[in-house]
Structure 1
Amino acid sequence: MLDRAAVDSLFPSDLPETEEWEQRYPARDVPDGAFVTRFGPSPTGFVHIGGIYTAMVSRDLAHSSGGVYYLRIEDTDQAREVAGADAQFARAFDAFDLRPDEGPTSSTGDGGPYAPYRQSERSTIYLSYVRELMRRGRAYPDFATKDELAEISERQRTLKLPTGYYGRWAPWRDADDAEVLRRLEAGDPYVVRLRSEGKVGERVGFTDRLRGRVEAEDNHNDVVILKTSATEPRLPTYHFAHAVDDHLMRTSLVVRGDEWLSSVPTHLQLFAALGFSQVEYAHLAPLMKQEGSSRRKLSKRKDAEASVDFYLEAGYPTPAVLAYLRGLANSPLAELGVPEALTTPLRLDEFQSAGPLVDTVKLADICADHVATLPAPEVLAGVRAWARTYDPELVEVLDEHEALALAAIDVERVGVENPRKDLARWSDFRTAYGFFFPALFTDVTDPADERFGGLAPEIVYALAADLAAVYTHEGDQPTWFQQIRDLAERHGFAPNPKTYKKDPDAYAGMLRDAANVVRVLVTGAQRSPDLYEVTRVLGAEEVVRRLEALERP
């Protein structure tokens, strides 16, 4: 074990003692029982919907208990860092209303009371605690090269022993001080490892707030806590930074995915070695996807819906997405409407051990139900906000024809028991409502168009020309539709299916076939909202213009 002077010589002479950091970051002033939680993403790729899920749970548990939810950027693996990650986080948190109380993207930014909130800017803090462990003999320098480590692993596999750096397989664990000093004076690169007190085959137990009592194999490896001395700044490994930061930032509950369960024994050892009180853990089951008859984890490599951008680009209303995720976390919330699901606190005892299934069909249903409850101005605001980024042309149309847009949205939505639910995503607006706007509507000009259901082009043209010549816009729905009945009768269409079936050769088609011609010419589709209400929004001049757009065969 190196003496204090030798250890201290490895660190800056002005490095603060750990007591200074303890004073700088005091215990938080929160009510008894309140959770201090954090979301700690790594800026190494796109934001996963599972990250939004975890952040949502973390924030809810903190806020519902009167605590604090903060964001910490865990960027110690700088080789894998992706440029623009901060902007991704900010966009995602804004969209889902998950901005933290402290940390990057919060109102306090990087200047909050427990700053800095980026691990790459906290290197001095970590060095203080590494030095303290080395002073006490709980950590030591290791000069093993990659080749030497690979050779150790190969020998262990040959002997069918657990691989790792431990016991007699850790040559620098109890190396002679003189040899250690010689290598240090020579400037040889080294890492710093924790001197583990775990033994091969031993097990350790802990309580998880979601899973209850959990047992796992104890950590027997002398894990690296400080990366190589050959780089500056010297940064810790994730495990060590996690322990130091969760202590100093006074985290009381760590919510994270269950892929970290196997790391808990290592983290318990680090907290014990550092003399910190142990934080509590809540390991979430992963979001899953149905594939055939089986389920698997939602994969950022295989599944588009794993990315937050999938939801933003498609324009899923984010309150509905967030309500859906809350229903995955606590199944009773899935039975509530969106506003109630967003305001009902999550309960730790309602989480399931099995991973919840992400079902975009179910999500679309929830989104459609939610949009159907919104007044037209809110729907229009949602479409506009989405379109500013993803469909600028649509924004121009909506700005120019706002009154028309509001009237179109209200068709079959106001004063009806079952309002229309054809808008689940803002990107669906063009398909569902685009025909209302002349700038977005493509006139139907070909009388042989397949949308006319195979009627003879001459009959299609005759119906359109006849109705355009005598079109009456006034009157209630029955009065208005009578002109289409009369039109169909004049052109040899049966008034109903029963009559048509008796002698199909005697008729050009059925009333509904004639009405379909009008529907296609006016809306561009065989299915549409109530045609009478559509014509009320379009106005007589536009209806006639569309009827007259059909070309003579």
Structure 2
Amino acid sequence: MSTLPTRTRFAPSPSGHLHVGGARSALFCWAFAKGHNGQFLLRIEDTDQKRSSDAASTGFLEDLAWLGLDWDEGPQWHGRGGGDTGPYYQSQRLDIYEPFMQQLLDSGAAYRAFETTEELGAARKLARAEKRAYRYDRAALELDPDTVERFVAEGRPHVVRFKVPDDEPIVVQDAVLGEVRLEPGELEDFVIRKADGYPTYHFAVVVDDALMGVTHVIRGQEHLANASKHALLIDAIGFDRPVWAHVSLIFNPDGSKMSKRDKDKMLRAEVKSRGLDSPPEGCGISQEQWANWLADKKSQLETSAAASLAGVLSITLPEINVDDFRRAGYLPEVLVNYLSLLGWSPGGDREQFDRSFLVEQFGLDRIVKSPAKFDRSKLLAFNLDAIQAMDDDQFVVRLQAFCQDFEPEFLEAMSTHQFKLFALSNKERSKTLRDPMDSGWFFVQSDEQIEWPMTKAIRKALCKGEPNGFDRLAAIRDLLAAAEPWDPAHLEEILSTWAETNCEGNLGKIAQPIRVAVSGGPVSPPIFDTLEILGKKAVISRIDRCLANRENAMEASL
């Protein structure tokens, strides 16, 4: 057992916002380090230049910060990070890798290979034709040292391969899975430096973990196949092996792997079902982008373009990335709670807890081997519980912060008093922070934007009965116009008194027509709160427009 200070790391490649699987790995690393009075490191693995961008790495940083997973060492960002073992971007560490690469070359543990991409492609094609698995044939080892030296001096493009031992198995001890064994001959000589001079992930991660003092590597089982390569490199260079712990994959409820491509699959299926050959109006995607996307099944639209297309098509994409859940109105503490249950058990029947409990209880011995299934219904139930447990002031603050980030028009359209009333009138029925906005768009629409489609509910509220909703609206209109003060208590007094005389005391017979008139639909917060938030001018304007539409509505209802 290592006596070194516990140091874990999360090392994403900067290819977009954080997938929930990556977030779960980061969470486990963070919790384990904090529970052992250790340090949690963040390192950006950007040696794959095709997949990396500064904007993408910023997305990861935002996601981790939102979840509350602050890193002790790593990229400096909004007061987080720094440290003595950087740089924390692999692309800035090339000089650090070179002595270790040369050590492997000098010892004969690695060698230069000069085959071109075309030559390797032809070899793979031949292997397929002969129905055998492709394996690099070590042709480069047949080159004499003088030839290798001459090729290097000429600047001939080449890679560096690690020479895998032929006569002994590769054994890795895993804290979750136990002994993982790879028999001789199962692993080919793998590339550790690419032709562009950049080290591969396998080489860089081994050097970085060792020099940064990482003691525990906690990651998803998709990386298990890499552990044997890393063990060979660690042993060849002379580093100490860390403790490896590979946690189960996360699946959708139907058993399919939860993937970033799930959103793309849904968009492609919808586009195909509608027979769309060109981008629909308003999605912001050019014809060229559209054609390239449809032609290449492996390509994906940018996040903003995908969201825009989904909006135009009126479909809801599945939440896959942390940012998806943030935008959908989930609370970070709830997502942390739920993710911790995907592959780990606190024991007993307890399922809902805070970060402090997780840090105190988390251990590798309670990580489960079986795959985890992401149950969105359960997550939503957790979120509902958390919202309902908030006091009123806390909910108002959290909803205000959400609107500042994603729906600022609600803050712009309402005074502080109106927004507080809007928040509290929605709290009891909100499962997410987005729910009030999804059902309350009529609050920020102009009076002229309100429409009354003849759905069954609207037809019943406005057109059915004798007198019908239109009749009652016309009768109450002037009474509302004269109402002073314009507040829930006085409005309730006015409408209740009117209902006693004209609706046999049934307030709903006038409240529902008013609700439909001012919102364009049958659902809103409590009617008196709704009227105060909108204000008298908007309420009277919308009632007048609704009454002006009476003839068309009655014809449409027949």
Q: TM-score, normalised by structure 1?
A: 0.75
From the superposition, tell whether residues 436 and 177 of structure 1 become closer, same or farther in structure 2 (CA, over 3 Å): closer
* Alignment counterpart, residue 365 of structure 1, candidates 376, 381, 384: 381
Instruction: Give the whole-Å Cα distance in 2 for the aligned partners of 1:338 and 1:457.
Output: 56
* Alignment counterpart, residue 405 of structure 1, candidates 394, 402, 419: 419
SS of the residue 1:224 aligns to = strand
* Alignment counterpart, residue 333 of structure 2, candidates 319, 340, 346: 319
Q: Indicate the residue corresponding to 2:287 in structure 1.
A: none
Contact 2:461 2:516 in 1 (8 A): yes
Instruction: Give the whole-Å Cα distance in 1 for the aligned partners of 2:321 and 2:489.
Output: 50
Instruction: Give the whole-Å Cα distance in 2 for the aligned partners of 1:119 and 1:244.
Output: 10
Q: Indicate the residue corresponding to 1:455 in structure 2.
A: 464
* Alignment counterpart, residue 222 of structure 1, candidates 179, 182, 189: 189
Quick check: 1:205 aligned with 2:171?
Answer: yes
> Following superposition of structure 1 onto structure 2, how do residues 403-552 of structure 1 map, counting pairs within 5 Å?
403-411=417-425, 420-426=428-434, 428-433=435-440, 449-450=458-459, 452=461, 454-456=463-465, 459-467=468-476, 481=496, 483-489=498-504, 512-521=508-517, 525-531=521-527, 551=547
SS of the residue 1:424 aligns to = coil
Instruction: Give the whole-Å Cα distance in 1 for the aligned partners of 2:448 and 2:431.
Output: 18
Deviation, structure 1 residue 275: 0.9
Quick check: 1:192 aligned with 2:160?
Answer: yes
Number of residue equivalences: 483
C-alpha distance after superposition, 1:471-502 (max 9, x if no partner): 7976898997464243213xxxxx8xxxxxxx
Instruction: Give the whole-Å Cα distance in 2 for the aligned partners of 1:281 and 1:125.
Output: 24
Instruction: Give the whole-Å Cα distance in 2 for the aligned partners of 1:203 and 1:464.
Output: 83
Q: Indicate the residue corresponding to 2:296 in structure 1.
A: none
Quick check: 1:300 aligned with 2:263?
Answer: no
| RMSD across aligned positions (CA) | 3.8
From the superposition, tell whether residues 478 and 203 of structure 1 become closer, same or farther in structure 2 (CA, over 3 Å): farther
Deviation, structure 1 residue 537: 7.2
SS of the residue 2:139 aligns to = coil
SS of the residue 1:69 aligns to = strand
Quick check: 1:129 aligned with 2:100?
Answer: yes
Instruction: Give the whole-Å Cα distance in 2 for the aligned partners of 1:532 and 1:110.
Output: 50
Q: Indicate the residue corresponding to 1:3 in structure 2.
A: none
Deviation, structure 1 residue 516: 3.0
Aligned-partner residue type, residue 176 of structure 2: L
SS of the residue 1:221 aligns to = coil
Deviation, structure 1 residue 511: 7.3
Instruction: Give the whole-Å Cα distance in 1 for the aligned partners of 2:445 and 2:124.
Output: 71
C-alpha distance after superposition, 1:54-104 (max 9, x if no partner): 211211111111111111111111133235123212222222222311111
Instruction: Give the whole-Å Cα distance in 2 for the aligned partners of 1:447 and 1:244.
Output: 67
Aligned-partner residue type, residue 190 of structure 2: V
From the superposition, tell whether residues 511 and 178 of structure 1 become closer, same or farther in structure 2 (CA, over 3 Å): closer
Quick check: 1:309 aligned with 2:318?
Answer: no
Instruction: Give the whole-Å Cα distance in 2 for the aligned partners of 1:112 and 1:41.
Output: 18
C-alpha distance after superposition, 1:181-215 (max 9, x if no partner): 3434444333222222144xx64332222223333
Deviation, structure 1 residue 247: 0.6
Aligned-partner residue type, residue 237 of structure 2: L
C-alpha distance after superposition, 1:130-154 (max 9, x if no partner): 1112222222222233344345445
SS of the residue 1:225 aligns to = strand
Q: Indicate the residue corresponding to 1:26 in structure 2.
A: none
From the superposition, tell whether residues 275 and 342 of structure 1 become closer, same or farther in structure 2 (CA, over 3 Å): closer
* Alignment counterpart, residue 247 of structure 2, candidates 275, 284, 291: 284
SS of the residue 1:188 aligns to = coil
Deviation, structure 1 residue 327: 2.7
Contact 2:34 2:359 in 1 (8 A): no
SS of the residue 1:78 aligns to = coil
From the superposition, tell whether residues 479 and 203 of structure 1 become closer, same or farther in structure 2 (CA, over 3 Å): farther
Aligned-partner residue type, residue 372 of structure 2: P
Deviation, structure 1 residue 222: 2.1
Contact 2:447 2:538 in 1 (8 A): no
Contact 2:396 2:424 in 1 (8 A): no
Contact 1:447 1:460 in 2 (8 A): no
Aligned-partner residue type, residue 311 of structure 1: F
Quick check: 1:181 aligned with 2:157?
Answer: no
Instruction: Give the whole-Å Cα distance in 2 for the aligned partners of 1:131 and 1:58.
Output: 32
From the superposition, tell whether residues 109 and 132 of structure 1 become closer, same or farther in structure 2 (CA, over 3 Å): farther
Q: Indicate the residue corresponding to 1:254 in structure 2.
A: 217
SS of the residue 1:193 aligns to = strand
Unaligned regions of 5+ residues in structure 1, if any? Answer: 1-30, 414-419, 490-494, 496-509
Instruction: Give the whole-Å Cα distance in 1 for the aligned partners of 2:160 and 2:30.
Output: 35
> Following superposition of structure 1 onto structure 2, how do residues 340-351 of structure 1 map, counting pairs within 5 Å?
345-351=361-367
Instruction: Give the whole-Å Cα distance in 2 for the aligned partners of 1:481 and 1:255.
Output: 63
Contact 2:440 2:524 in 1 (8 A): no
Instruction: Give the whole-Å Cα distance in 1 for the aligned partners of 2:331 and 2:138.
Output: 55
SS of the residue 1:130 aligns to = helix
Unaligned regions of 5+ residues in structure 2, if any? Answer: 264-317, 551-558
Quick check: 1:273 aligned with 2:289?
Answer: no
Contact 1:422 1:432 in 2 (8 A): no
Identity of aligned residues (%): 28
SS of the residue 2:372 aligns to = coil
Q: TM-score, normalised by structure 2?
A: 0.74
Q: Indicate the residue corresponding to 1:81 in structure 2.
A: 52
C-alpha distance after superposition, 1:520-544 (max 9, x if no partner): 3466543444546666877899878
SS of the residue 1:79 aligns to = coil
Aligned-partner residue type, residue 235 of structure 1: Y
SS of the residue 1:206 aligns to = strand
Deviation, structure 1 residue 116: 0.8
Instruction: Give the whole-Å Cα distance in 1 for the aligned partners of 2:380 and 2:162.
Output: 50
* Alignment counterpart, residue 382 of structure 1, candidates 398, 402, 408: 398
Aligned-partner residue type, residue 381 of structure 2: D
SS of the residue 1:393 aligns to = helix
SS of the residue 1:84 aligns to = helix
More displaced 10-residue stretch of structure 1: 235-244 or 149-158: 149-158
Q: Indicate the residue corresponding to 2:282 in structure 1.
A: none
Contact 1:434 1:440 in 2 (8 A): no
Q: Indicate the residue corresponding to 2:310 in structure 1.
A: none
More displaced 10-residue stretch of structure 1: 447-456 or 53-62: 447-456
From the superposition, tell whether residues 436 and 198 of structure 1 become closer, same or farther in structure 2 (CA, over 3 Å): same
Q: Indicate the residue corresponding to 1:14 in structure 2.
A: none
Instruction: Give the whole-Å Cα distance in 2 for the aligned partners of 1:210 and 1:75.
Output: 28
More displaced 10-residue stretch of structure 1: 69-78 or 433-442: 433-442
Aligned-partner residue type, residue 547 of structure 2: E
More displaced 10-residue stretch of structure 1: 267-276 or 303-312: 303-312
Aligned-partner residue type, residue 222 of structure 1: D
SS of the residue 1:57 aligns to = helix
